[in-house]
Structure 1
Amino acid sequence: MSNIVHNNERPDVLVHVADNVRERRQATGLSQQALAERAGVSRRMLVNIEKGDVNVSLNTLDRIAEALGVLFHVLVQPPDNPDSARINEIAWAGHSPQSHATLLASKPARHAVELWRWSLASGERYETSADSPGWHEMLLVIEGILTLHLPGETLTIEAGDFHVFPSDQPHGYSNDTPQLLRFMRNVLY
């Protein structure tokens, strides 16, 4: 996973994640070791997350949220913003400063819905493991061409087009063109 930190600065989202994970863990009475085991991460990783010293993958943060019994957005939103309708925090950044994913909002639906704005620079790729059964993603390409990588299948989605797929399988996004790629991503679970 690429690092969020650019120019030796710690972005606010790392501070929010650190504070939120630590506060939620302490509120549930879990030790760092117990939470690490529940979430399937190393204790060292959890210690670094709580210090705000490491960029955590979206998948790992999902597992920590699930282990804490909260939704993903609870861990990335600013603590003074209890309304998940508008989060607007960078939660992933690639090697290029033009590549990033911003969680715009998250609202409970049957379970929950997350709305993301993504940008990928030329040659950038993001891959993730399978989500839980029943999860889906809806992608809408705003600018450029998105290449969606699914097991045994690669799809090309052009600007103005969209695709919906079950995300309970490994998947990835790439920008295989020379121009910037911008797209919206809804995660439904």
Structure 2
Amino acid sequence: MRTPRPDVLAHVGENLRRLRQAAGLNQTTLAEAAGVSRRTIINLEAGEANISLSGLDRLAEALGVTFVDLVGAPSASTRRIDAVAWRGAARESEAVLLSSAPARTEAQLWSWALAAGERYDAEPDPAGWHEMVVITEGRLRIERDEGPITLAPGDYAIYSSAQTYAYFNVHDGLTRFTRVVVS
């Protein structure tokens, strides 16, 4: 039995309010800068909303902070975050933000698992962002604007994530992979 991990949104409300106030922004100004609704910010700060990973990236950028600054526990080190950022319909499907390291802006290390037939559809990241994916178990199809690729254990792919892309488990069992996002 696995130890339950905290949800990546567990600290967003507190961090969002603190970072927004430190930046001297009201909710309306932040909403406009991030391209999200004011209602979303109100609900996030109240701990009552869900938002896409791309939406969190846009909020972090508008605040002038990193994704990890926005989602991390206030006392957490960026070396070990270990928080669930996405869950699929199947219990085994999840994306876990493991860690982060500085890059031009930041680099994020993720551990992903997708159950048979499970799919994750991503929104494009900003220009200049890239992903590095390494398959450790199963088979993963990455559907991208620049063309799909299918990877087996030991295979890897590096590509621009500034495009529409999706992960699809084409294996009849669990597929696991490591993902590094570089911004």
TM-score by length of 2: 0.92
Residue equivalent to 1:44: 39
| Secondary structure of the structure 2 residue equivalent to 1:29 | coil
Question: In the alignment, which residue of structure 2 is the partner of 1:84?
Answer: 78
**Which of 34, 52, 55 is the aligned partner of 1:57?**
52
Q: Secondary structure at the match of 1:123?
A: coil
1:158 positional shift: 0.6
Report the equivalent of 2:3: none
Match in the other structure for 2:63: 68
User: Where does residue 127 of structure 1 map in the other structure?
Assistant: 121
Q: SS in structure 1 opposite 2:141?
A: strand
- How many pairs align? 178
Whole-Å separation in 2 of the counterparts to 1:14 and 1:113? 19
Give 1:111 deviation, angstroms.
2.9
Alpha-carbon distance between aligned partners in 2 of 1:96 and 1:43, rounded to the nearest angstrom: 32
Q: List runs of 5+ in structure 2 lacking aligned partners.
A: 1-5
Which runs of structure 1 show a deviation greater than 4 angstroms over 4 or more consecutive aligned residues?
none
How much has 1:165 moved relative to structure 2? 0.7
TM-score calculated relative to the size of structure 1: 0.89
Q: Deviation per CA, 1:47-68: give whole Å up to 9, x if none.
A: 1211222221101000000011
Pick from 28, 31, 50 the counterpart of residue 26 of structure 2. Answer: 31
Letter in 1 for 2:182: L
Aligned CA RMSD, in angstroms, stands at: 1.3
Deviation digits for residues 55-98 of structure 1 (CA, Å, limit 9, x no counterpart): 211010000000110011111111111x2111111111122221
Q: Which runs of 5+ in 1 are unaligned?
A: 1-10
Question: Which of residues 90, 109, 120 is equivalent to 2:103?
Answer: 109
Aligned-pair CA distance for 1:152: 5.0
